[in-house]
């Protein structure tokens, strides 16, 4: 997976994990990257998570995001810990 467009970085507030937030409250929908995904692609199915292909948690470019299950998401991050970028080369996550 090649990320060919550039990141659109959120300039506002972030939460302790480094994700962009807007407004108050604790609902996940307030995460700005989730809001950007919903605007572009519609509702996020229950239990699916957004992964940033670009690794930039503040990025709002939906071309840089893929939906993964929790287990896939955990796996890709565990894999990337010991081989940065490796998981992206191994599989085209947009398919
Ligand atoms: Zn990005
Ligand atoms: Zn991720």
Distance 14 CA to ligand 1 centre (A): 16
Domain count, the chain: 1
Q: DSSP assignment, residue 17?
A: T
CA distance 14 to 37: 17
Distance CA 68, CA 56 (A): 16
Query: What is the chain's pLDDT, residue by residue, as a tens digit (95 residues)?
Result: 556 789 999 998 888 888 888 766 555 457 899 999 999 999 999 999 999 999 898 999 999 999 999 999 998 888 776 655 554 544 444 44
User: What is the rounded CA–CA span in Å between residue 60 and residue 79?
Assistant: 24
Does the pTM exceed 0.85?
no
Name the closest ligand to CA 9.
1
Beta bridge partners of 67: 50
Domain that holds residue 50: 1-95
Distance in Å, CA 29 to ligand 2 centroid: 16
Tell me, in angstroms, the distance from the centre of ligand 1 to residue 60's CA.
7
**What is each CA distance from 30 to 27, 45, 86, in whole angstroms?**
6, 16, 30
Tokens of 35: 């809001």
pLDDT of residue 42: 95
Q: Output the CA 20–ligand 1 centroid distance in Å.
A: 13
Measure 51 CA to ligand 1 centroid, in angstroms: 10
Pairwise CA distance, residues 22 & 28, whole Å: 11
Instruction: State the residue for tokens 């085209």.
Output: 92
């Amino acid at each position: 997976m090649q990320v060919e467009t550039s990141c659109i970085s959120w300039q506002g507030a972030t939460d302790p994990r480094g994700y962009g937030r807007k407004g108050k409250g604790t609902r996940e929908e307030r995460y700005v990257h989730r809001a950007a995904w919903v605007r572009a692609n519609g509702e996020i199915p229950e239990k699916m998570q957004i992964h940033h292909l670009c690794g930039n948690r503040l990025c709002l470019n939906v071309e840089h995001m893929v939906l993964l299950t929790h287990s896939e998401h955990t796996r890709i991050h565990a894999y990337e810990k010991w081989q940065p970028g490796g998981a992206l080369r191994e599989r085209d996550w947009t398919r």
